Amino acid sequence: MNTLGRRIAYYRKSKEMTQEALAEACGVTAQAVSKWENDLTAPDISLLPRLAELFSVTTDELLGVSREETRAVDVKALDVSKLLLRIRIQDNSDKVNINLPFALVEAVLESPALSEAAFGNTSDKLKDIDFKRIVSLVHMGAIGKLVEIQSSDGGTVEVWVE
């Protein structure tokens, strides 16, 4: 998916939309959508937020801008009090973003009762994530996107520490 047109086609198809439906939602013709997808033209810049909304992605994702992946940092220079744990859960119709101070996540995980209360009744998409392992990785210097899960039903879960 290295061109905008290919990304538009991919996201449209993943939402099971026709070119006609996308055209109607954007106020353009189906021919315009076809030209976008074949990289003959590009959508007007003012349509990018609408396209991102329709596809449940960010405009950065739509444009192919990638976040910095996992990287190692000097553990001695790591200030955990300034880190955030970011969780993004997306399925066909819903998108949830969670941003928590990393120190709070650590405190919750240290207490079995708090840990069960906080993570015991989470969505099925989060149950398989080992948050204690994430904390351990961060203390070893791993920062950035640490988890990316794409399910067969089109849902995604991403976990960053920044």
Domain residue ranges of the chain, discontinuous segments joined by +: 4-63, 71-161
With beta carbons less than 8 A apart as the criterion, state whether 74 and 141 touch. yes
CATH superfamily ID and name for 4-63? lambda repressor-like DNA-binding domains (1.10.260.40)
pLDDT at 66: 67
In angstroms, the CA 118 to CA 106 distance is 12
pLDDT by 10s per residue, the chain, length 162? 578 999 999 889 988 999 999 999 999 999 999 999 999 999 999 999 999 999 888 888 889 886 556 777 888 888 888 899 988 888 777 788 888 899 888 888 888 777 666 665 555 667 778 888 999 899 888 888 888 887 777 778 888 888
Diameter over CA atoms, the chain: 58
Give the distance, in angstroms, between the CA of residue 54 and the centroid of all CA atoms in the same chain.
15
For tokens 């449209």, what's the residue? Answer: 12
